[in-house]
Structures are given as structure tokens and as C-alpha cells.
Chain A
Amino acid sequence: MLYDIVIEPFVEFGFMRRALVACVAMAMSGAAIGVFLILRRMSLMGDALAHALLPGAALGFLLGGLSMPAMGLGGFIAGILTALAAGAIARFSELREDASFAAAYLTALALGVLIVSLRGSSVDLMHILFGAILAVDDLSLFLVATTTTVTLTGLAAIYRPLVVECFNPGFLAAMGVRGSVYHYLFLALAVLNLVAAFQALGTLMALGLMLLPAVAASFWSREVWSMVAIAAPMGLVSGFAGLLLSFHADLPSGPTIVLMASLFFLASLLCGTRHSLRLRLARPRHLQG
């Protein structure tokens, strides 16, 4: 019985297996990216960045049709350009960085929808906006797995300077280290992950599997590494449960997966061991001296 519900869909259907592998890979690297996005106070900018992939992906679609490498490459270039442009605008004008990010991504989003509608149908547009994890083919699976490998090794390599750049950038500068180098390396990895996630979850929700587990983990842990260690399995379980639920209840898979991650967030908000509502409401007796 349990076997029929939990295991069988993956044994029976190749597309479910591929979707699961994609979710596992995305959850592992996405958790780490999400944690750093939160620590850099860039959660909303990450979202803006995800939307900014659209015109690039749309151009890829225009030239190569619904092909993952073409759309992924286009999206990656568009994401990097947007991040650089927003950073440059913020530096050279008085505009705050969040405002310049918002301006850049709204422009990109509108441009993207326009380009897709030039040739594609509304089905194609839906596909790009909301993704299609059940249509993941071997090539895109390879791209997602490569992204995870590059992200995890890359983040491990720049871990310490990146953490200090978030925590106390002035100290890093006083030590003669250019923190912006690590900032941009991190942004490049973030864009790479968004590209990997966008094909499965679409540009609108690409950030869901990165950010929600990371936010949830922040209610449980007090170090950067343990936040990542807690967020990754939450993302994994969200992907697994979301796929099953969407299979059995015939729901669209992307939103179901993201909502599963939202459940983790809500549960952590209520019951977490740090700053959660439970602690706020229960007012546990204070400790001795």
C-alpha cells in the first residue's frame, strides 16, 4: 500500500525518476545559495534576478525553440548582465540597489514576455513562466547535475571570504582582500542555479526551492554551515513529497513542490528553536543568572 503510493510512481515512470533526480540536485546546491542570499539580505533581489532570466531564455527560445541548452545559455547571460547592470547603476547614481534591481528586472520581464509572444503560443509562455519538471530530459538533467557540482565545490572554495564579506566587509577590506570579487563569484553561482531551476520550476518560482528551505532553516540553527545542512534535506523532502502529491492529485508539479517548501517554512516559523512564534508566545521561564 505504502509502496504503491510512495515508491511505485518512480519505479513505473521514467519522467518521475528524472524529475526526482533533478529535485535532489537542485535542493542540494539551492539550499547553500539560498542561505547566502538571506545572509546578504538579497532574498528579494534573488527573485528579481530570476525574473531577469526571461528575456535571455526567450531569445534562446526564439532561436532554438524549446531547447534547454539554448534557453539556459540565454537565461544565464541575461541574468549576469542584469546583475552587473543593476550593480553599476546603483554605484554610479544615487539610486539604491534594491530600486535599481527592481527597475532592471521589470524591464527584463516585460521584454521577455514580449519576445516569447512574437513567435510562441501561450502554452510556450506558460512553460517558460512556470516550468515543466515532468518534461526534464537527459540533457537538462546533466546540466542541472553539473550546476550542483560546480556550485557546491565553488561555494566550498570561497566559503570563508564569502562569509566574512557578508558579516563584516570592512574587516575583509582592512585585510587587503577585495570582497567584491567574492560577491560577484557568488552572484554568478546564484544565476547558474536559477537557470537550472527555471527549467523545472519556471522563472516565476525558480527561487522557491532555494529560498524557502533556507528561510526555514534560519529558525533552527545558529551557524552558516548548519543552516545549509538543515536547508538541504528540507528542500529534498519538499521535492519528493511535491512530486508525489502532484502525481496522485494531478496538480501542476512546480507550484506543488514550492508549496511543500512553504509548509516547512510555516512549521519552522511556528516551532523553530530560534526566534520562532512558539518561543515568542510561550515566553519560557528565563534561565538562572
Chain B
Amino acid sequence: MSAPALRLTDVTVSYDRHPAVHHVSAEIPAAELTAVVGPNGAGKSTLLKAMLGLVPHREGRIECRARRVAYLPQQAEIDRSFPISVFDTVLLGRWSRFGGFAPAVKGDMHDAAHAIEAVGLAGFEQRPIDTLSVGQFQRVLFARVLIQDADLVLLDEPFAAVDSGTVADLMDVVKRWRTENRTVVAVLHDLDQVRREFPHALLMARQLIDSGHTERVLSARNLLRARAMAEAWDERAGACETETGEPAHRHAH
């Protein structure tokens, strides 16, 4: 196997001193599909945001070899009533080319139209996004990721509240990314889908339960452990210490 696309070494991310991601070390293989799985509140989205640099990780190290990273956020993080068209939303994917001030060139426009077609929304270009269904809007976000031409793609619950037809279409897009040697990391809840489509998985419950080949990671024993750890949330947890009794970090969390 070639060098990993991402290497996490002992990464901890805390909100208000409570760790959402706790001492996670893992490798994300390059040009592969990796699923991030775990119960609600397990820190999956936080881990993705830490990979992007959207939330600071106080401790640990994240090494990323990707030149360009694309990110598909959860829909709740976007104002879906905003007056903007499908085309303009997709075109934003080329931000790294034109930034905040330069005009978009013909090639960008052409690629945006092409991406809209590729996710099955041809004819919707000028529709305002507040007239779209959840599934259609998810297709728009996929089109935006498509034209980012990223070698690392991070998807946060890409198939939440989306019907099976849309899931099948969008999964085809994801599989095409793999053939184009892009690395994909997706937060998912449908374990059957993960077993079927994602060769690698990362199971977490704030800390890493296991990572590697999906069949091994998603064993009954591991899943049970994940659920038990997610339920054991201590409001009054003391400062974190390692097994040797040494204080693990300078910043207690």
C-alpha cells in the first residue's frame, strides 16, 4: 500500500474542555473509500472538521498530503432559504480559482454546468435553492464538490434524509472518485452500505475503537464497545490521565 493520504497521531479536540475526539491515531489510505462510523456524539463530524482545520486540535498531529481538499457539510449548516441559484451554488466550488474578487472564466462556467448534469439536475440551473427538495439540494452540494477537483474529499453524512434513488446516484459519483484516484472519507450511519461499498472503516466513540478493513472493524464486538463507550459520558470527568498515572497533557481537558 502506498503512503496514507492522511495520518492522525494522537489527535484530541475539545469543546469547552470536554473531548469530542480523544487520542485518535489512524491512517486514511490514499485513493480509497473510507467510512467513519460511530454512534451520535461520537465525534465523527468533529474529526472531519479537524482534518479540514475548521476546529483547532490542541493536541496531536494531522499530516495531510492532499493538495486540495473538498468538504460536503451537513445540510443543517447551510441557510437553505438563501436567495441563490443552483448554478451559482455549484460554481462556488471553483472558489480556489477565482477567490473572493476575480471573475469566473468560461471554463469554470462550463464545468459547473457539466457537474450539474452529472448529478442529474440538468434544467435546474436557474432554480433558486429554496425550491429544491432535500435530495435535490444534496445533489447540488455533490456537484459543488465535483468541480472542486480535490484529491481528498470529506463527506459529512452525505446520505442523511435522502431517498434510495438519490443515494444510488450519488454513490455512483463517489465510486467514480475512487477510479479517479481520489481519497474519500465519509461519515455514514448505514452499516450495510458501509460493508457493501467502503473497503476501509474507522469506528469511533470519541476515541478510536478500531480502524482498517471494514469487515474486521465492524465486528459485533467492536460495535457493542462503541455503544457502551458513547453512553458512558461523565459530566464531572476529571483531567485526563494516561494509564501510567502521568498527566497526559499540559492542557487538561
Among A5-13, A55-63, A161-169, A246-254, the one that faces the other chain is A161-169
- Are the CB atoms of B83 and A223 closer together than 8 Å? yes
Pair count A-B, CB < 8 A:
52
Whether B71 contacts A227 by the Cβ 8 Å rule is no
Within 8 A of A (CB), among B119-170: 128
Interface residues in B63-84 (C-beta closer than 8 Å to A): 69, 71, 73, 77-79, 82-84
Query: In the docked arrangement, what's the CA distance between A171 and B148, Å?
Result: 12
A282 to chain B, nearest CB (A): 18
Interface string of A214-254 (1 = CB under 8 A from B): 00001001111001000000000000000000000000000
Contact B101 A227 (CB under 8 A): no
Please measure, in the bound complex, the distance between the C-alpha atom of A171 and the C-alpha atom of B128, giving whole angstroms: 19
B82 touches A161 (CB 8 A): no
Tell me whether B25 is interfacial, beta carbon within 8 Å: no
B100 at the interface (CB under 8 A from A): yes
Given contacts A174-B52, A175-B96, contact A160 B101 (CB under 8 A): yes
Find residues 176-201 in chain B having any chain A CB closer than 8 Å to their own CB.
none
Which residue of chain A has the shortest Cβ distance to B128 in the bound complex? A222
B14 at the interface (CB under 8 A from A): no
- A-contact bits for B38-72, CB 8 A (1 contact / 0 none): 00000000000000101000000000000001010
By a CB distance below 8 angstroms, the chain B residues around A175 are 95-96
Residues of A within 8 A of B95 (CB): 164, 171, 175
| Identity of the chain B residue whose Cβ is nearest the Cβ of A224 in the assembled complex | B83
The reply to whether B100 and A177 contact each other, CB–CB distance below 8 Å, is yes
CB of B85 within 8 A of chain A? yes
Contact yes or no, A168 B73, CB < 8 A: yes
**A120 CB within 8 Å of chain B:** no
Are the CB atoms of B84 and A160 closer together than 8 Å? no
Say whether A266 faces chain B, with CB atoms less than 8 Å apart.
no
In the complex, per-residue mask of B197-241: 1 if CB is within 8 Å of any chain A CB, else 0: 000000000000000000000000000000000000000000000
Task: Judge if B21 is at the interface, Cβ distance under 8 Å.
Answer: no
Q: Is there contact, CB below 8 Å, between A170 and B73?
A: yes
- From known contacts A170-B54, A170-B73, infer whether A223 and B100 are also in contact, taking CB-CB under 8 Å: no
How many angstroms between the C-alpha atoms of A223 and B100 in the bound complex?
A: 18
Q: Which of A161, A166, A173, A227 contacts B100 (CB 8 A)?
A: A161
A171 and B92 form a contact (CB under 8 A)? yes
Q: How far is the CA of A160 from the CA of B89 in the complex (A)?
A: 12
Residue A123 at the chain B interface, CB threshold 8 Å: no
Nearest-neighbor residue (CB-CB) of A177 within chain B: B100
Residues of chain A with a CB closer than 8 A to B69's CB: 174
Some 26 contacts from A to B, beta carbons below 8 A apart, are: A39-B83, A160-B100, A163-B84, A164-B92, A166-B82, A167-B78, A167-B82, A167-B84, A167-B89, A168-B79, A168-B92, A170-B73, A171-B71, A171-B92, A173-B54, A174-B52, A174-B69, A174-B71, A175-B95, A177-B100, A218-B83, A221-B83, A222-B85, A223-B85, A224-B83, A224-B84
